[in-house]
């Protein structure tokens, strides 16, 4: 029976990994224990752990084993198991928050990881886990997340101010600084929420910032700033800033379709038209 079980597990690992390789680059695969009971658990665990083209989780409810296939340049098992723990499921490395576990359906109330009664690594929404240690033998709490995002946002605001002044040369300079800051972001020092958003928007932010920095055409700069602001808003929503930030809209720009931007000041100073229509627009959301 043990031999049959090993063969079944090997086949499970092979099949689950091969389906992931089709879309995920720089693949690595690890087998870990995740606690659960049923098909509902399976769907929840896999949904929490999966990230398109980045991570694929295949969990077996009978063995409690999960195959984690992931792009090693973008994530690692620590981040995957962290998301799964926040969905309510213990692993050998992370324990689900008790309030989240308590909300699981009755059929999903698995017998908890023994570490749960011994002060194991319990998850909340706040810990920032240093990644890159495959054996998870030491988890380090880091405090650089806020500083990194503040640097990105501060540079964005300086770029916005240059566009308000219709100063293409200054906008180019500030955008170059923004691109440099974006490139320096250490993904392994981000909280889970910020990490996930960064994986979606950081590349696009860098591309837009680079295009603006390489141009002295104010029209082109403003056009790329529109998309840059859209992605920066997504980042702002999950980041903490030292003061309220105002999400503002110009209804005239983009052939009357409108365009948004972020500002530290509530009074409107339009970056898309500058002095031509400096106060055109309104605040549509205050982010605190």
User: How many domains does the structure of the chain reveal?
Assistant: 2
Answer yes or no: do 150 and 80 share one domain.
no
Answer yes or no: do 168 and 240 share one domain.
yes
Answer yes or no: do 81 and 171 share one domain.
no
Is there a domain that residue 133 lies in? no
Query: What is the pLDDT at residue 20?
Result: 44
Answer yes or no: do 204 and 254 share one domain.
yes
Residue 25 CA from chain centroid, whole number: 18
Query: What is the pLDDT at residue 8?
Result: 53
Is there a domain that residue 123 lies in? no
Where is the domain boundary, 74, 100, 117?
A: 117
Distance CA 37, CA 198 (A): 33
Q: At what angle do helices 77-86 and 39-49 cross, to 10 degrees?
A: 130
Answer yes or no: do 105 and 185 share one domain.
no
Domain membership of residue 197 as a residue range: 145-287
From first to last of its 288 residues, the chain has per-residue pLDDT tens of 545 555 555 455 555 444 444 588 889 999 999 999 999 999 999 999 999 889 999 999 999 999 999 999 889 998 899 899 889 999 988 888 888 899 999 999 998 876 654 444 555 443 333 333 333 333 333 344 557 899 999 999 999 999 999 999 999 999 999 999 999 988 777 777 888 788 889 999 999 999 999 999 999 999 999 999 999 999 999 988 889 999 999 999 999 999 999 999 999 999 999 999 999 999 999 999
Query: What is the pLDDT at residue 168?
Result: 97
* CATH (domain of 14): 3.30.70.100
Is there a domain that residue 69 lies in? yes
Copy the structure tokens of residue 275: 């002095």
Cβ(99)–Cβ(112) under 8 Å?
no
Answer yes or no: do 158 and 276 share one domain.
yes
Answer yes or no: do 23 and 90 share one domain.
yes
Is there a domain that residue 88 lies in? yes
Is there a domain that residue 220 lies in? yes
Answer yes or no: do 159 and 112 share one domain.
no
Is there a domain that residue 136 lies in? no
Q: If DSSP states are collapsed to H, E and C, what string results for the chain?
A: CHHHHHHHHHHHHHHHHHHHHCCCCCEEEEEEEECCCCHHHHHHHHHHHCECCCEEEEECCCCCEEEEEEECCCCCHHHHHHHHHHCCCCECCCECCHHHHHCCCHHHCCCCCHHHHCCCCECCCCCCECCCCCCCCCCCECCCHHHHHHHHHHHHHHHHHHHHCCCHHHHHHHHHHHHHHHHCCCHHHCCHHHHHHHHHHHHHHHHHHHHHHCCCCHHHHHHHHHHHHHHHHHHHHHCCCCCCEEEEEECCCCCCCCEEEEECCCCCCCCCCHHHHCCCCEEEEEEC
Answer yes or no: do 112 and 154 share one domain.
no
Is there a domain that residue 135 lies in? no
Answer yes or no: do 150 and 113 share one domain.
no
Is there a domain that residue 87 lies in? yes
């Amino acid at each position: 029976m043990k031999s049959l079980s090993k063969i079944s597990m090997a086949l499970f690992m092979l099949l689950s990994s091969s389906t992931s390789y089709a879309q995920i680059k720089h693949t690595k695969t690890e087998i870990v224990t995740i606690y659960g009971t049923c098909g509902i658990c399976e769907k929840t665990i896999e949904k929490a752990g999966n990230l398109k083209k980045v991570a694929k989780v295949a969990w077996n409810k009978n063995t409690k084993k999960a195959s984690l296939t992931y792009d090693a340049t973008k994530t690692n098992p620590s981040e995957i198991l962290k998301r799964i723990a926040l969905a309510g499921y213990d692993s050998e490395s992370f324990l689900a928050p008790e309030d989240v576990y308590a909300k699981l359906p009755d059929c999903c109330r698995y017998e908890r990881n023994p570490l749960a009664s011994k002060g194991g690594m319990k998850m909340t929404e706040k810990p920032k886990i240093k990644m890159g240690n495959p054996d998870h033998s030491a988890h380090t709490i880091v405090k650089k997340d806020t500083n990194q995002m503040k640097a990105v946002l501060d540079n964005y605001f300086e770029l916005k101010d240059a566009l308000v002044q219709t100063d293409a040369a200054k906008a180019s300079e500030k955008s170059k600084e923004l691109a440099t800051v974006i490139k320096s972001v250490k993904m392994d020092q981000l909280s889970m929420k910020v990490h996930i958003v960064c994986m979606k928007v950081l590349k696009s932010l860098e591309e837009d910032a680079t295009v603006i920095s390489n141009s002295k055409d104010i029209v082109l700069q403003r056009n790329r700033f529109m998309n840059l602001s859209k992605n920066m808003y997504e980042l702002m929503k999950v980041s903490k800033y030292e003061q309220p930030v105002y999400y503002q809209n110009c209804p005239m720009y983009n052939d009357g379709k409108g365009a948004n931007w972020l500002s530290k000041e509530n009074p409107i100073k339009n970056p898309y038209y500058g002095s031509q229509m400096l106060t055109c627009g309104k605040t549509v959301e205050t982010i605190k």
